[in-house]
A and B are shown apart, each in its own frame.
Chain A
Amino acid sequence: AQSVTQLDSHVSVSEGTPVLLRCNYSSSYSPSLFWYVQHPNKGLQLLLKYTSAATLVKGINGFEAEFKKSETSFHLTKPSAHMSDAAEYFCVVSDRDSGTYKYIFGTGTRLKVLA
């Protein structure tokens, strides 16, 4: 069965320093992978997606992620954190199980950005 593991429940970085949010996945098929962001009291916003095209995916707000099949990883990075990046980030795998594609969410990583 497919699953997603977000290795860190909390990450703190200083403003202007790089961000790394880690995600490993398990999938029986060729998965699609997504990163979503949730700001406080807001909905889930799509940051970026991997759907078997380029392995390095660029998203909104300067985020990018690299799909590494050999490591079953899809880590999210940003060169320089901004205060507005403080939020909860979810790694998601979309995989075919019983005939439909449904999302399996990771447990989330709360990013804190320090001034």
Chain B
Amino acid sequence: EPEVTQTPSHQVTQMGQEVILRCVPISNHLYFYWYRQILGQKVEFLVSFYNNEISEKSEIFDDQFSVERPDGSNFTLKIRSTKLEDSAMYFCASSEAGGRRDGYTFGSGTRLTVV
């Protein structure tokens, strides 16, 4: 069964450093997403991406965050200057038709720890 692949599975970074979280969505999917889950809290929407541009973003997704699809297969989330409160599990997801009927396929997540 096709999978969404995320790397790395765990990243530790110092506060103020830039991090890039990488995702390889399912090849025929057109919609891409990032969600995060702070430990003990609910899963929160960050951003959706379609047709090479952001289609929607949440209040969490401020100027410190950016997404990119650099080469037609990878989908990355960059955090420019990490803060302690960015520590969370970050999930990438993709869908073929927008997620309303087909559902998302999530990756297994990247656990980001900011120290």
Q: A-side interface residues toward B, CB under 8 Å?
A: 32, 34, 36, 42-46, 49, 51, 90, 94, 96, 98-108
Q: Is the CB of A106 within 8 A of B42?
A: yes
The secondary-structure label for the interface of chain B is: strand
Q: List 30 A-B contacts (CB under 8 A).
A: A32-B99, A32-B101, A34-B103, A42-B108, A43-B6, A43-B91, A44-B43, A44-B91, A44-B106, A46-B104, A46-B105, A49-B101, A49-B103, A51-B100, A94-B99, A98-B56, A99-B56, A100-B50, A101-B100, A102-B33, A102-B56, A103-B35, A103-B43, A103-B45, A103-B104, A105-B35, A105-B42, A105-B43, A107-B42, A108-B42
Given contacts A32-B101, A100-B98, A103-B35, contact A43 B56 (CB under 8 A): no
Q: Which of A43, A49, A90, A102 contacts B108 (CB 8 A)?
A: A43
Q: Which of A43, A45, A101 contacts B99 (CB 8 A)?
A: A101
B109 beta carbon closer than 8 Å to chain A: yes
B55 beta carbon closer than 8 Å to chain A: yes
Top 3 nearest A-B pairs by Cβ distance?
A: A43-B108, A44-B106, A105-B43
Q: How many A-B residue pairs have CB under 8 A?
A: 60
Contacts of A103 in B (CB 8 A): 33, 35, 43, 45, 99, 104
Instruction: For the complex, give the distance between the alpha carbons of A103 and B102 in Å.
Output: 12
Q: Is the CB of B48 within 8 A of A102?
A: yes
B107 beta carbon closer than 8 Å to chain A: yes
Q: Which residues of chain B from 10 to 42 have a CB within 8 Å of any chain A CB?
A: 33, 35, 42
Instruction: For the complex, give the distance between the alpha carbons of A101 and B55 in Å.
Output: 10
Closest to B55 in A: A100
Contacts of A94 in B (CB 8 A): 99-100
- 6 new A-B pairs (CB below 8 Å) besides A32-B100, A43-B6, A51-B101? A32-B99, A34-B103, A44-B93, A101-B100, A102-B33, A104-B45
